[in-house]
Amino acid sequence: MTTKGYTMQTLKIGKAFLDDHDSRCLPMPNIVKETKRNYYIQIDWDNEGYADLYSDAMYYSDPSDFDSFYFGLCMAARALAKQMTATK
């Protein structure tokens, strides 16, 4: 994604897990763009919000650790953790 003459690396992610993360008042990554189903967030491992989102996604990525009510959230977390790991 290009913004005013410089290139910014972004990650396209589904809204489900990031919205849950935000609802718990945790540090947030920089959201560059929002569509109906996705957010584009800036890839920045030095950003507290980005690192915290990764940590949170890793925590929720195993559905066997949680009640079946959280299965969808855990699957969203697993997908996000996989995407974020690929950016390291």
Burial class (CB in 10 A: 0-12, 13-18, 19+), 85: exposed
Give me the pLDDT at residue 2, please: 53
Give me the pLDDT at residue 3, please: 56
- The tens digit of pLDDT for each residue in 6-17 reads 678 999 999 999
Global model pTM greater than 0.75: yes
Ranges in the chain, pLDDT < 50? none
Structural tokens at position 26: 């945790």
